[in-house]
Amino acid sequence: MLDKTPMQALAERARAVLPAGGFGNFDPSVFIRAGKGSRVWDEDGREYVDYLIGSGPMLLGHGHPEVLDAVAEQLPKGMTFFANNAPGIELAEEICRAVPCAEQLRFLTSGGEADMYAMRLARAFTGRDKILKFEGGYHGMSAEAQMSLAPTRLVNFPQAVPDSAGIPEAVRAEMLIAPFNDPDYLEDLLREHGDQIAGIIVEPLQRIIPPAPGFLQAVRDLCDRYGIVLIFDEVVTGFRFAYGGAQEAYGVTPDLCTLGKIIGGGFPLAAVAGRKAILDHFDKAIVGADRWLMMLGTLSGNPVAAVAGLKTMEVLRRDGAYDRLNANGARLMAMFEGHLSAAGVAHRIIGHPTLFDVVFTEREVRNYRDVQAADAGKNAKFNAVLRENGVFKSPGKVYPSLALTEADFVLTEAAIARAAEAIA
């Protein structure tokens, strides 16, 4: 009998102590041992160019030396205090300078928490109960967010479909679902329900689907008309699309936004930011006990994550950083386009140079249902061949980073060529 590989042995141990053998995030058969720069190594010793980058936070690459130095300087001073600290205040100041909607913010530990509090803030501010989200939009793991994220049963809008067991029916009743990139449907829906809706939460780039020209501004205008709080979920796009996030890139300012990933420099940190009048609901002295929104978090604003985020943001402010990031992404997009077209494979390259993927379809991709109609089998095979040839990525996203080298591009293009041939 052949000996188990290190990853096979770890998978066996994981199945004994973890449901489904994993953390719930990624392929549980994969165990990453180390990352440096643009590369990661698994426990079997295989090396990959990393386009997962921790699901987005490692925009500078793994183990950036300046980030490591900042963290090493902070660690002897303390890892967390459950109290205000100077690095957290400095980070809050920088986020408020950078992000158009951010007059104030509150720190949390995860983007999902930030989304949950953003929806709760909208309810507290408006005194209304209903939340509207777009089908296929990802906003964390709260009960509200787990509505029509990835429905396998497509129902008529605006009915919500729970994505998880354990969610009360009462939550479903307070959620309305609309198709992304359809302002006409949204306007019709708000004519009927606009005075009941506290907030509309939207990813400015929904997973990898770009907003149609004018769509985000139409949502902004409708929110203004009906007194609805507009929430941009920028956990992924914040400090990635531009230093001020997607709201800077698209020129549409929400009332609230949620941030995560990059602002913690690879450590757990997130924030909900926006208009002071809405954030005031975290301050009992201003709004009173009846309108106060309680918020606690053991690690919220911890100084280690704060210094890592501050250094990451400092690097991103340097001349040419975003030009280089966009150029890296555009070069990768051209590789995918060129080799898949040459192989005669029907496909669309969807997204933004800093966050995109291939969808195997001939139709235009404007919303969740268009992605669902694509060829999932080709997608799975394509990604499997990429991984076999040293490219590590999510099943549905490519995250370019600033750490990519010429050698990475050469390896990646060879892997894309092989994967395109495999599915042709």
Tell me the pTM: 0.97
Q: What pLDDT, on the 0 to 100 scale, is given for residue 1?
A: 54
Structure token pair of residue 281 = 């609901």
The owner of tokens 């929104």 is 293
**Into how many domains does the chain fold?**
2
Domain-ending residue, one of 284, 316, 348: 316
Shared domain for 295 and 394, answered yes or no, is no
170 found inside a domain? yes
195 has catalytic annotation: no
Q: How far apart are CA 315 and CA 335, in angstroms?
A: 27
Q: What pLDDT, on the 0 to 100 scale, is given for residue 236?
A: 98
233 has catalytic annotation: yes
Burial of 398 (0-12, 13-18, 19+ CB in 10 A): buried
Domain-ending residue, one of 288, 316, 344: 316
Shared domain for 210 and 81, answered yes or no, is yes
Shared domain for 204 and 120, answered yes or no, is yes
302 found inside a domain? yes
Q: What pLDDT, on the 0 to 100 scale, is given for residue 395?
A: 95
Q: How far apart are CA 136 and CA 212, in angstroms?
A: 16
Shared domain for 178 and 43, answered yes or no, is no
Burial of 171 (0-12, 13-18, 19+ CB in 10 A): middle
Shared domain for 46 and 97, answered yes or no, is no
CATH number at residue 382: 3.90.1150.10
Shared domain for 301 and 327, answered yes or no, is no
Dihedral of the CA atoms 408, 64, 358, 257 (nearest 10)? -160
Of the residues 48, 51, 117, 138, only one is catalytic, namely: 138
Per DSSP, helices labelled H in 275-398 are 276-279, 284-287, 303-316, 321-342, 368-372, 376-388
Q: What pLDDT, on the 0 to 100 scale, is given for residue 230?
A: 99
Report the largest interatomic distance among the alpha carbons of the chain, rounded to a whole angstrom: 70
119 Cβ contact partners less than 8 Å away, ≥ 6 residues apart: 131, 139, 142, 144, 198, 199, 201, 231
Q: How far apart are CA 245 and CA 270, in angstroms?
A: 14
Which structural domain range is residue 111 located in? Answer: 66-316
Provide the residue type at 152 as one letter. Answer: T
Q: What pLDDT, on the 0 to 100 scale, is given for residue 2?
A: 73
Domain-ending residue, one of 287, 316, 345: 316
397 has catalytic annotation: no
Shared domain for 105 and 248, answered yes or no, is yes
CATH number at residue 180: 3.40.640.10
pLDDT truncated to tens, each residue of the chain (424 aa)? Answer: 578 999 999 999 999 999 999 999 999 999 999 999 999 999 999 999 999 999 999 999 999 999 999 999 999 999 999 999 999 999 999 999 999 999 999 999 999 999 999 999 999 999 999 999 999 999 999 999 999 999 988 999 999 999 999 999 999 999 999 999 999 999 999 999 999 999 999 999 999 999 999 999 999 999 999 999 999 999 999 999 999 999 999 999 999 999 999 999 999 999 999 999 999 999 999 999 999 999 999 999 999 999 999 999 999 999 999 999 999 999 999 999 999 999 999 999 999 999 999 999 999 999 999 999 999 999 999 999 999 999 999 999 999 999 999 999 999 999 999 999 999 9
Of the residues 182, 233, 280, 408, only one is catalytic, namely: 233
Structure token pair of residue 124 = 């507290």
Of the residues 42, 226, 255, 261, only one is catalytic, namely: 261
